[in-house]
Each structure stands twice: as C-alpha cells, then as structure tokens.
C-alpha cells in the first residue's frame, strides 16, 4: 500500500507485474481500509502479520479468484475485499470459497472485509455467517504458523473442480460443484425465459471445447427436475456410462436415433445436446412439434465438433439460427482447457501459427517407427493415468488407423462431451501439412481423422500423450512447438 501511495504509476505497475498481480483500483482502496484497520491495532508495529499473502490468485484453468490468501502449517486464511455488498452475496461467495479451498487438507478460515461499513464477516460453519471484530482477524494472523509452500499452483488440482456429468456423475448428482459467473448468468436468463414463454421458445447454448456447455445444460435439467418439470435430453450420439447412471437416477435421456419412441409433446423442455450432429430432417420434425405444442427447446452445441465432411456440409448451425425468435447464449470462458495444451493444439493444427507456450511438462511425445511396438506401448499405458482414444473406423472399409488401434479403446464418437485427466492420441504417417499450414490427412478414411484428432485431444483436462508413428514431419513440428 505504501508503494501504491508513493510510487509513480509506471513504477507501481512494474512492481505488481513482477509478482503477477492484477488488481483493480477499487480493490486497492478496499485493501487500504483493511490494512489501516489492522495497522492501528498492531503492537510494536508487528509487520509480520502483513507478510505471506497471495493477492488476486487465480486457480489455473478454473479462473476462480481469491482476493487474499495466506497459508500456514495447519490453516489457510482467506479474506475477500468488498466496497459494499449484501449479506446474501457475502455468504454465497464465502461458501463457494470454502468449497474451492476444502481440497487443501487444512483448517480454512473464510472472511470478507466490507470497506464502506468496516465490517468483517466470517463463515462460521457450512453456510451461516457472522460479524467479527478486526482483532479476531488479527489473532488469526498472529497465531498462524507460516509455511513455505513453493508453487501455489501445486496446491490446486483443477480436476477436483472440473466436474463432468458423465465422468464425475456422482459428484454432479450430489451438487459438489459450482458454475462460473458466466454460466450462472446464462442459467438465470434461460430459466427466466422458460418461465414466461407463452409460445414456442427456442434457445441455443453455443461455445468451443472446454467452455462448460455440457455442465451448464445438464445443471439446467437438474434444476428443472427439482422444480417438478419434465425435461427430455436427446443426445446426438452414443450414450455413455454417465448417461446410463443419470437414467438410473430417473433422468429421461435418449440417443437421437431413438427419439421417435418418445412423445415430445408431453415434455416441458426438450434439450438437444451435441446438436451439430443432428440430421436436418430430425431437426425439422422436432422443431415442428415444439411449435405445435408451444413448448421449449434448448440446443447445445459447438459447430466445430463435427467428425465427418457431410456433418459439416449440413450446416446445422445455420439451420438452428434460422429458427424464428431463437435466443442464443454464447459461452466464451475456457474453464476446462489447460492453457499449455490449448496453445499446443492451436499450433499443432496449423504449422504457420506462432504462439508463446509455457512448457510445463503436460505434453508428452513418444515416437515409434514400428507400428506394432506403438500398439503395444498404447496397450501398456496405465488406464488410471491415461485414456487411450482411437479414431472411429468405417463400417464399410478397412482403414490404416485400425492397424494400431486396440478395439477395446473408446472411439472419437464414444467420447463426445466427455473429459479425462490424461489422454493418449495417435498421429500416423498420413498426417501432414497443406500449403496454408493447415493439418491434413492424406490417407483414406470415412470420418475425418483431422476432426477426430481434434475431438480426441480436446478431451484432455491436464495431460496429453502424443504417440507419433512413422511421421518425421509431425515429430519435428511437435519438437519445434515444445522447444
């Protein structure tokens, strides 16, 4: 605070940049109020209580931010800073913070300082809050035995918070997760529109890989079920084990190929998940029913996640956007994507793209000349660490990638909408780069291997194991990206 009050703005900004701190002017004023309140109480200028704080820390991938964090040997102290707020908002944030910090196996103290009233709120138990004096916080700071923690990022495993309805189904059903602010906002808007609709109501939720479409839409369905509504999910693909678990819990879910067995007119809401893969005639029939009975329909999709040329040519995104009175919600925050992996993928799929990549060891590259050895290696990987994903084969012709693919492994079509901590994918000799730098496949395949590679590699939450078979060009490109 002394640096802020005495340095030139350029010097102060340089100081903050050194520590990677991003803080708004209003937050600095709130912080100043808290510092002054504590400073007035310190005996013999006990400066130690102001040391060891992380300011404005964000959990990697999640983007969850904490204003002040201080780590001790047995406890963690979290203080949020507010200019003004309501007790309801404070309680909600402190409960959320407790959830995110609960994976650190220490006693958690969650507090909030409101500068306009100079009140300090404290989360007493799981949900209730109370007001405490500033000397309560002072005692916590004095009693806390400090501990060097190395890299703070190592304390947080993004996988603990990236809850998938399919891969963390029990967590999802038990409400052990939170939506981002953007997801919460979209959810409120959709629920409001569902409540007032007096005519056919069409809504789309769109966003790229890792933006949390699936979690948002399935959370919406769960909310509707709690409110005694009757939603039906039509999944445009194969049902996975998570779907089956949800069905066992009473959810109504059908693959698109079986939707005609359902009377769509009896449902309050029809949710079409992975809608980019629906057939035009299926889309027309469903839209027709929704219009006839003045019901609600939610489309959830990413137009880039198509697996065959003909799916792309259908241009379902255009067809959905042509539905009269459609309301579109776009998710832009990447909540699942590891920045290192995301940057690597962007450069892997275009050889002329140059981006800064912080190589933190989450991308492993293994090269094989011998296809049988590559297959043996893939088969030897620990299934607890790696999900080996293969390309979907043609039903009509034998394809090269089938030679190194273990038939027991999941295909690109089987993992749509799912996510895994570690993903192993293959790049064979037919992958190359076109004149414009785009990744291409020069072999014969019914489904697009480039699109399937993108589908598979974007399933990774934390780590990627890239197995390159007899392809020096792609090996060199990977080495160039990582070095």
The yes-or-no verdict on residue 259 having pLDDT over 70 is: yes
The DSSP call for residue 52 is: S
Mean of per-residue pLDDT scores for the chain: 92
Tens of pLDDT, residues 47-65: 889 999 999 998 887 878 9
The pLDDT-based confidence of 224 (bands split at 50, 70, 90) is very high
The number of angstroms, rounded, from the C-alpha of 140 to the middle of its chain's C-alpha atoms is 34
- The half-sphere exposure of 90 on its side-chain side, counting CA atoms within 13 A, is 25
Q: What b/e readout covers 39-51, taking b as 16+ CB neighbours within 10 angstroms?
A: eeeeeeeeeebee
pTM strictly above 0.75: yes
State how far the Cα of 295 lies from the Cα of 270, in Å rounded to an integer. 8
2-156 is a CATH 2.40.50 domain: no
Count of helix runs (H) and strand runs (E) in the chain: 16, 19
Residue 264, Cα to own-chain centre: how many angstroms?
Answer: 31
- Give the 3-state secondary structure of residue 358: coil
User: Does the structure show a pLDDT above 80 at 83?
Assistant: yes
The answer to whether the 2-156 and 339-482 domains have the same CATH topology is: no
Is the model's pLDDT at 394 over the cut of 90?
Answer: no
Please state the separation of Cα 470 from the chain's center in Å: 34
Q: Which residues contact 165 (CB under 8 A, 6 or more apart)?
A: 172, 214, 215, 218, 242, 246
Strand partners, 107: 75
Question: How far does the chain reach from its first CA to its final CA, in angstroms?
Answer: 40
3-state secondary structure of 12: helix
Nearest alpha-carbon partner for 236 in 417, 456, 447, 409: 417
What average pLDDT does range 156-162 have in this prediction?
A: 83
pLDDT at 287 over 90: yes
The larger pLDDT score, comparing residue 483 to residue 159, is at: 483
* Helix or strand holding residue 337 (H, E): none
Give dist(CA 188, CA 169) in Å, integer: 23
Q: Band of the pLDDT at 159, cuts 50, 70, 90? A: confident
- Tell me the percentage of the chain whose pLDDT exceeds 90: 75
Q: What is the pLDDT of residues 414-430, one digit of tens each?
A: 998 888 999 999 999 99
Q: Is 472 exposed, middle or buried (0-12, 13-18, 19+ CB in 10 A)?
A: exposed
Q: What pLDDT is attached to residue 210?
A: 80
User: What pLDDT, on the 0 to 100 scale, is given for residue 226?
Assistant: 95
**Beta bridge partners of residue 204, listed in sequence order:** 299, 328
pLDDT of residue 417: 85
Q: Which residues contact 48 (CB under 8 A, 6 or more apart)?
A: none
Using a pLDDT cut of 70, give the percent of the chain over it: 99
Question: Is CATH 3.30.559 the right assignment for the domain spanning 339-482?
Answer: no
> How many beta carbons lie within 10 A of that of residue 345, not counting itself?
21
- Nearest in space to 71 (alpha carbons), one of 140, 7, 15: 140
- Ordered by start, the domain boundaries in the chain are 2-156, 169-331, 339-482
User: Are 77 and 111 within 8 A, CB to CB?
Assistant: yes
Rounded CA-CA distance 115/31 in Å is: 8
Evaluate whether 77 touches 69 at the Cβ level (below 8 Å): yes
Q: To the nearest 10°, the Cα dihedral for 463, 466, 467, 472?
A: -160
pLDDT for residue 43: 73
Residue 380 to residues 373, 374, 376, 377, 454: CA-CA distances in angstroms? 10, 10, 6, 5, 23
What does DSSP assign to residue 294?
T
Residues 108 and 73: their CA atoms lie apart, in Å, by: 12
Q: Do residues 53 and 70 touch, judged by C-beta distance below 8 A? A: yes
Tens digit of pLDDT for each residue in 171-220?
999 999 988 888 999 999 999 999 776 789 999 999 988 888 999 999 99
pLDDT of 456 above 90: yes
Contacts of residue 115, Cβ cutoff 8 Å, sequence gap at least 6: 29, 30, 33, 34, 81, 82, 83, 84
Of the candidates 327, 335, 329, 333, the one whose C-alpha atom is nearest the C-alpha of residue 205 is 329
The pLDDT value recorded for residue 395 is 82
- Distance from C-alpha of 282 to C-alpha of 8, rounded to nearest angstrom: 64
pLDDT at residue number 162: 82
**Residues 454, 308 contacting (CB under 8 angstroms):** no
Own/partner pairs for 190-199, CB < 8 Å, 24+ apart? 190/220, 190/298, 190/329, 191/220, 191/223, 193/327, 194/224, 194/268, 194/269, 194/296, 197/294, 197/296, 198/294, 199/294, 199/325
Task: Tell me the mean pLDDT in the region 381-392.
Answer: 94
pLDDT of residue 44: 67
Tell me yes or no: is domain 169-331 CATH 3.40.50.150.
no
Which of 205, 206, 252, 247 shows the shortest CA–CA distance to 233? 252
Q: Which residues contact 258 (CB under 8 A, 6 or more apart)?
A: none
114 pairs with which residues across the strands? 82, 119
């Amino acid at each position: 605070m002394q640096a802020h009050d005495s340095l030139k703005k350029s010097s102060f900004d340089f100081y903050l940049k050194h520590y990677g701190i991003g803080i708004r002017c209003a937050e600095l004023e709130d912080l100043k109020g808290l510092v002054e309140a504590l400073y007035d109480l310190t005996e013999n200028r006990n400066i130690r209580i102001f040391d060891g704080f992380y300011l404005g820390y964000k959990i990697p991938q999640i983007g969850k931010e904490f204003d002040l964090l201080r780590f001790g040997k047995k406890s963690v102290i979290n203080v949020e800073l507010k200019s003004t707020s309501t007790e309801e908002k404070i309680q909600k944030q402190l409960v959320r913070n407790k959830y995110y910090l609960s994976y650190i196996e220490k006693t958690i103290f969650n507090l909030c300082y409101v500068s306009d009233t100079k009140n300090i709120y404290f989360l007493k138990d799981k949900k209730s809050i109370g007001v405490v004096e500033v000397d309560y916080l002072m005692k916590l700071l004095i009693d806390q035995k400090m501990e060097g923690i190395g890299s703070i990022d190592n304390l947080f495993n993004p996988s603990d918070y990236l809850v998938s309805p399919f891969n963390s189904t029990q967590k999802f059903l038990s409400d052990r997760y939170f939506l981002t602010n953007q997801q919460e906002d979209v959810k409120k808007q959709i629920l409001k529109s569902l409540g007032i609709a007096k005519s056919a109501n069409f809504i789309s939720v769109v966003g790229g890989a890792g933006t949390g479409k699936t979690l948002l839409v399935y959370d919406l369905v769960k909310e509707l079920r709690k409110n005694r509504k009757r939603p039906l999910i039509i999944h445009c693909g194969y049902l996975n084990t998570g779907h089956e678990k949800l069905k066992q819990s009473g959810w109504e879910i059908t693959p698109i190929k079986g939707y005609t067995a359902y009377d769509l007119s009896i449902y309050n809401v029809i949710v079409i998940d992975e809608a980019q893969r629906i057939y035009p005639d299926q889309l027309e029939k469903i839209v027709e029913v929704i219009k006839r009975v003045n019901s609600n329909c939610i489309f959830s999709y990413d137009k880039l996640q198509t697996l065959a040329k003909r799916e792309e040519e259908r241009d379902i995104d255009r067809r959905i956007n042509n539905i009269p009175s459609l309301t579109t919600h776009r998710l832009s925050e990447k909540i699942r994507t590891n920045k290192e992996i995301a940057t690597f993928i962007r450069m892997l799929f275009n050889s002329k793209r140059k981006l800064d990549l912080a190589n933190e060891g989450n991308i492993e590259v293994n090269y094989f000349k011998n296809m049988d050895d590559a297959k043996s290696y893939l088969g030897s990987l620990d299934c607890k660490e790696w999900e080996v994903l293969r390309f979907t084969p043609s039903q009509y012709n034998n394809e090269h990638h089938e030679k190194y693919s273990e038939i027991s492994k999941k295909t690109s079509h089987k993992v749509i909408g799912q996510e895994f901590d570690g993903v192993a994918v293959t790049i064979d000799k037919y992958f190359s780069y076109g004149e414009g730098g785009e990744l291409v496949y020069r072999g014969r395949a019914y489904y697009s291997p480039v699109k399937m590679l993108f589908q598979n590699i974007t399933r990774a939450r934390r780590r990627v194991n890239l197995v390159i078979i007899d392809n020096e060009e792609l090996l060199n490109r990977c080495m160039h990206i990582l070095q």
